[in-house]
Amino acid sequence: MDLFDDLPLEPDALRTEVAPGAVLLRGLARSHEGALLAALQGVQAQAPAHHLQTPGGYTMSVQTTSCGQLGWVSDRHGYRYSATNPSTRTPWPALPDSFATLAAEAAAQAGYPGFVPDACLVNEYAPGAKMSLHQDKDERDLRAPIVSVSLGLPCVFQFGGLQRNAPTQRLRLAHGDVLVWGGPTRLAFHGVLPLADGHHPLLGRKRVNLTFRKAG
């Protein structure tokens, strides 16, 4: 399978518009990786990631935590943003400066200047973990884009349309790649195929995704 089959432009272009309003910035986070990984460790220490329950009673294969004013939580009662971490009953760790700076830079390069996220969802994928197709639609203001940063092992990311059954393109997202979507594709369905095993020099046997949103 050639993962780049669906890409209209050369796969390694630094900036690729993969769909209207959706821009892939290859390797953008690499120059920030030292600060990002140090900050990530701080967040994980303060707010350890867990396998969340879905409202339907399933256990998610990814482990999740958050930082910023709002964190995304899921349990038997539904999906929502919360100002406190249900595991610790304390506020989420603050959004690290390195995270906020990268998110704003990526959004600006993708055509969304002035992005100030108030929520960062941290998803950790071990080999085999996946994320089924879904829309990010729990945010109050859909004018702000989604900024998604990939770290560690590469994944196959599915980027679809506004209907669940629309065709999806498959993008290989590697360490440091940043995908931004908004405007006409803000509510695009997206997901991650089961993570292939491997070893990343900085993160070992895992992939970490940081998703920045303006939720409140």
Residues that bind Fe ion (CB under 5 A): 136
Residue 209 touches which of ligand SIN, Fe ion, none (Cβ within 5-8 Å per kind): ligand SIN
Among 99, 157, 159, 181, binds ligand SIN (CB under 6 A): 157
Q: Is 190 in the site for ligand SIN (CB under 6 A)?
A: yes
Q: Residue with CB nearest ligand SIN?
A: 209
CA atoms of 32 and 36, how far apart (whole Å): 6
Minimum CB separation from ligand SIN for residue 176, in Å? 13
- Comparing CB distances to ligand SIN, the nearer of 190 and 214 is 190
CA atoms of 65 and 54, how far apart (whole Å): 15
Q: Is 211 in the site for ligand SIN (CB under 6 A)?
A: yes
Query: What does the CA dihedral 60, 97, 180, 86 come to, rounded to 10 degrees?
Result: 20
Q: Is 123 in the site for ligand SIN (CB under 6 A)?
A: yes
Minimum CB separation from Fe ion for residue 25, in Å? 17
Q: Is 148 in the site for ligand SIN (CB under 6 A)?
A: yes
How would you classify residue 185: left for phi > 0, otherwise alpha for psi between -120 and 50, otherwise beta? alpha
> What are 80's two structure tokens?
């929502």
> What are 168's two structure tokens?
């999806």
DSSP 52: P
CA atoms of 183 and 17, how far apart (whole Å): 13
Residues in the site for ligand SIN, rule: CB under 6 A? 121, 123, 131, 148, 157, 190, 192, 209, 211
